[in-house]
Chain A
Amino acid sequence: MQNGEETHPPYMFIWGVLAFLMFAKVGVSLLDMPQWMSITFLVLISLVSALLVALYYMHLRFEPRKLWLLAAVPFPLVAILILLVMQDFG
């Protein structure tokens, strides 16, 4: 976070949301629904949780845009690693 910035992110509110999402994931995994639907919900909830941690606890939301670009560097490589290699099992 840049020095001199007075406002703080709502840390406790984010904690509450993260805790809720974590228990929601456990709930979704226990529900009787098609596997593809369950996996979709679980992955989406996890991504939202991870994004909240990165944006508010790691303060990425308050960092310069150039740092955002730097943080985005590995994700095309992650996509290649996961999605393209999985084509073998498509």
Chain B
Amino acid sequence: MSQTAAATVQAPADTTRPEPGVGAYNLKLGMWVFLLSEVMFFTALIGTYIILRFAHPEQFAAPGEVLNVPLTAINTFILICSSVTMVKAFAAIEKDDQKGLQLWLVATILLGSTFVGVQVYEYIHLFADGFVPNAEAYAAAGGPIYSSTFYLMTGFHGLHVSIGVGCLIWVLIQAMRGRYSSQHLGGVEVMGLYWHFVDLVWIVLFTIVYLI
């Protein structure tokens, strides 16, 4: 093997180099394709909710009568804050600021965990009030369709946030091992894309489920 070829093999590869075609590196392109499939997934859930609400309005109570809107508004604000901490983590590693990356990732993990915690707290109180997925007997909560669609949508979103927190912990561990730099920030950017998407979905869900 020539010296030039050996040097090429040993040089660290820039994993964020845009590929020909769409113009994004493969990891990012893959995440975008995955997120587009997620758009269809959540659209199916939201579409089902809208159609059922139009078809069976008698089974749906006004959201404020059953759900804790002020608490969830604060929880939405927490998720929006977690988006800005995530993007700050990305901005830090773009400048090779390892300490900043780790601090902002910890902040994002804490805010994401708080969001899930508040959602669990809300579920516990709703269950205690009789608003369970088959809440047929609980007249004030509307019918079973309302409670079932509510738990289906918010539950799947909460699952996405929980998985996101798990992945963020993994990214933080990698960051503490010094795996990222301004030339190797694909993992942080792709994690950010997922996290912001989860935030974006909640902005829509909060409006449809809690405010309309």
Using a CB–CB cutoff of 8 Å, the interface residues on chain A facing chain B are 1-3, 8, 11-12, 14-15, 18-19, 22-23, 25-26, 28-29, 38-39, 42-43, 45-46, 49-50, 53-54, 57-58, 63-64, 66-67, 70-71, 73-75, 77-78, 81-82, 85-86, 88-89
Could you list some 9 contacts between A and B, CB below 8 A? A15-B83, A18-B83, A25-B211, A29-B69, A43-B207, A57-B84, A66-B22, A73-B36, A74-B37
Contacts of B51 in A (CB 8 A): 85-86, 88-89
What B residues does A38 contact at CB under 8 A? 212
B50 in complex: contacting residue of A45, A63, A64, A82, CB < 8 Å = A82
Residues of B near A86 (CB, < 8 A) are 50-51, 54
* Interchain CB contact under 8 A, A63 and B23: yes
Q: Could you tell me if B200 and A50 are in contact, using CB atoms closer than 8 angstroms?
A: yes
Whether B36 contacts A70 by the Cβ 8 Å rule is yes
Q: List 7 other contacts, CB 8 Å, given A3-B14, A25-B211.
A: A45-B207, A57-B199, A58-B200, A64-B18, A67-B32, A71-B36, A74-B37
A46-B207, A50-B203 known; A57-B87 Cβ under 8 A: yes
Query: A interface, by DSSP: helix, strand, loop or mixed?
Result: helix
Beta-carbon contacts under 8 Å, B145-193 to A:
182-183, 189, 192-193
Interface size on B, residues (CB 8 A): 52
Contact B23 A74 (CB under 8 A): no
Residues from chain B with a CB closer than 8 A to the CB of A54 are 196, 200
Indicate whether A81 sits within 8 Å of B44 (C-beta atoms), given known contacts A23-B73, A39-B212, A86-B51: yes
